[in-house]
């Protein structure tokens, strides 16, 4: 079982088989776009539950989905597609956002992820609907 974190945020995962996977994260934000899109992908790719993220700063809740109790921040894998997804049903409080981000980065480095894709919504004004993207290097644009 792989673990990452410094104690305030812990990631516990068993048996990631993907090699240099793409990690997609969907945390709640504007319009719940990240959460909804990532959940759809998990279902469409028939991804397997492999672990969870937990923190003493997360609210003490469990998520009920199709009769099963789940952690609020879960990790799924599709070995066939070489994709790992991290989905959250709770917002990350700003006071713990750095620790959550650091734990995520440390963990993705430990599994040798080749990319991290963050799915999120942006509020727009007007009728024109567009898709925006950003990258960390010009080569990724």
Report the chain (141 residues): mean pLDDT per 10 consecutive residues: 65 93 93 92 97 93 88 97 97 90 95 94 75 78 72
pLDDT at residue number 17: 94
10: left (phi over 0), alpha (psi -120 to 50) or beta: beta
Please say whether the beta carbons of 51 and 14 come within 8 A: yes
pLDDT tens-digit profile of 106-119?
A: 999 999 999 999 99
pLDDT at residue number 15: 86
Whole-model pTM: value is 0.84
Please give the class, per CATH, of domain 2-121.
Answer: alpha beta
The residue ranges of every structural domain in the chain are 2-121
pLDDT at residue number 1: 47
pLDDT at residue number 133: 76
């Amino acid at each position: 079982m792989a673990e990452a974190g410094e104690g305030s945020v812990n990631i516990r995962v068993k048996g990631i088989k993907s090699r240099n996977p793409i990690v997609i994260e969907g945390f709640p934000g504007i319009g719940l776009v990240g959460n909804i899109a990532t959940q759809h992908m998990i279902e469409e790719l028939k991804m397997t539950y492999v672990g969870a993220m937990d923190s003493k700063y997360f609210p003490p809740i469990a998520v009920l989905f199709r009769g099963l109790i789940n952690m609020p921040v879960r990790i799924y894998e599709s070995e066939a597609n070489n994709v790992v997804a991290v989905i959250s049903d709770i917002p990350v409080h700003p006071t713990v956002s750095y620790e959550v981000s650091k734990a995520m980065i440390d963990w993705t480095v430990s599994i040798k992820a080749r990319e991290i894709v963050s799915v999120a919504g942006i509020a727009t004004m007007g009728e024109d609907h567009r898709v925006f993207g950003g990258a960390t290097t010009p080569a990724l644009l």
